[in-house]
Amino acid sequence: MSEVLTLGEAMAVFASSDIDEPLWKAKHFDKYLAGAEVNVTIGLSRLEHSIEFITQLGDDPIGEFIQYELKKSNIDIKNISINRLYQTGIMMKQRVLHGDPDTASLRKNSAASHLNIEKTATLLLDQPEVIYFTGVFLALSEQTRKSSKWLIEKYKNVPDIKTVFDTNLRPNLWESTSEMIKTVNYFAHMAKIVLPGLDEGKILTGNREPNDIADFYLNNSDITEIVVIKLGVNGAFLKDKYGHKMTIPGFKVDKILDTVGAGDGFAVGLISGLLEGLSIESAIVRGNAIGAMAVQSYGDNDGYPTMLELNQFLVQHDQI
């Protein structure tokens, strides 16, 4: 039985090794696994948690690469399907010395975007402790939204399952901003734990302060119990349905190499902490730690730690 169940799009990212060159000009690339949900599965597996991942891949070399890498990371891939009509999505990412890198997605009409409700409904699924989903997969197609809704509703009456939703906005993948806001908020209201970034929360709710953003989700859903707003280097703001709130500081790092994957790393820390029985505050500390570790490595998930590495980091920062 897997502890965590997630669905999403798995891709390969071709990351430039040419420093500060625009993508059109770069000539040298390294290949890694990519995708928000993939990053979280890799991170949780590295912390020795069991994960079941649902996706659809093309019958192509990138799809074979993804299956190989996921199996190597001990991810349960029995519910990954192959579609011979569509290709696996890929991304390209710039390498920069400062700031956020430019990225380009080549995922329109990908195999994952055609993962539909009829296909999902035939899967043999474990009963997990956590269901994790993000706004990225929702953006791909009407079919991915139907699949996500089906999965959530399948388990909505099962007690003790935590549904964790990372809003993870990708405006360029949506037909319009209004459709993005409407759909992402609809799914957020179906989750027990909602994880927006501060800038995402501003877009989705029209509010600017973390407390007001949290109240938007807590006051408009009978399901949502906890909102954690990611504040980047400033840590995270927590508020629950009982009114308990606090800001949990982040970790300062000397050198930032790549910011991609930091938010997913936060989710890894929070989910793993909850699986291990930590308080929500301690789970957020762990999320902040893994996010800080992530930005110190190239690759979307290369900086995610083992449990030993995580504990060493926390000891160094007086958190254990």
Domain boundaries, the chain: 4-107+124-316
User: Rounded distance, CA 252 to CA 244, Å?
Assistant: 26
pLDDT at 301: 80
Structure token pair of residue 204? 């989705």
User: Rounded distance, CA 241 to CA 179, Å?
Assistant: 27
Beta strands in the chain (DSSP E): 4-7, 11-19, 29-34, 51-58, 80-83, 90-95, 103-106, 130-134, 162-166, 193-195, 226-230, 236-240, 245-248
Query: For residue 126, what pLDDT band results from cuts at 50, 70 and 90?
Result: confident
Confirm if 165 and 193 have CB atoms less than 8 A apart. Answer: yes
pLDDT at 171: 94
User: Rounded distance, CA 259 to CA 42, Å?
Assistant: 17
Sign of CA dihedral 169, 171, 175, 179: positive
264 is catalytic: yes
Is the model more confident about 301 or about 139? 139
Closest Cα to residue 188, out of 161, 214, 158? 214
User: Rounded distance, CA 306 to CA 280, Å?
Assistant: 21
The pTM score is 0.93
User: Rounded distance, CA 7 to CA 9, Å?
Assistant: 7
For the chain, what is the total number of helices (H) and then of strands (E)?
A: 11, 13
User: Rounded distance, CA 123 to CA 133, Å?
Assistant: 17
pLDDT at 252: 87
pLDDT at 259: 72
Find how far residue 268's CA is from the centre of its chain. Answer: 8
Which whole number is the average pLDDT over 143-164? 91
54 beta partners = 7
Task: Look at 11-20, 258-267, 273-282, 302-311 and tell me which has the smallest mean pLDDT.
Answer: 258-267
Closest Cα to residue 290, out of 270, 308, 316, 260? 270
pLDDT at 138: 97
pLDDT at 220: 96
Which whole number is the average pLDDT over 208-232? 97
- Say whether pLDDT at 208 is over 70: yes
Query: For residue 120, what pLDDT band results from cuts at 50, 70 and 90?
Result: low
Of the residues 76, 166, 258, 264, which is catalytic? 264
Which whole number is the average pLDDT over 201-219? 98
Query: For residue 317, what pLDDT band results from cuts at 50, 70 and 90?
Result: confident
Structure token pair of residue 285? 């500390």
- Say whether pLDDT at 38 is over 80: yes
pLDDT at 121: 62
Query: For residue 287, what pLDDT band results from cuts at 50, 70 and 90?
Result: very high
pLDDT at 18: 94
pLDDT at 101: 84
pLDDT at 122: 67
pLDDT at 274: 96
User: Rounded distance, CA 237 to CA 273, Å?
Assistant: 17
Angle at CA of residue 71, ends 65 and 72, nearest 5°: 85
Which whole number is the average pLDDT over 10-31? 94
Whose tokens are 């799914």? That residue is 187
Confirm if 150 and 121 have CB atoms less than 8 A apart. Answer: yes
Confirm if 58 and 10 have CB atoms less than 8 A apart. Answer: no
Confirm if 235 and 288 have CB atoms less than 8 A apart. Answer: yes
Q: Which CATH number fits domain 4-107+124-316: 3.40.50.2000, 3.80.30.20, 3.40.1190.20, 3.30.9.10?
A: 3.40.1190.20
Which whole number is the average pLDDT over 173-187? 97
pLDDT at 320: 67
Structure token pair of residue 184? 């992402």
User: Rounded distance, CA 176 to CA 180, Å?
Assistant: 6
As a whole number, the mean pLDDT across the chain is 92
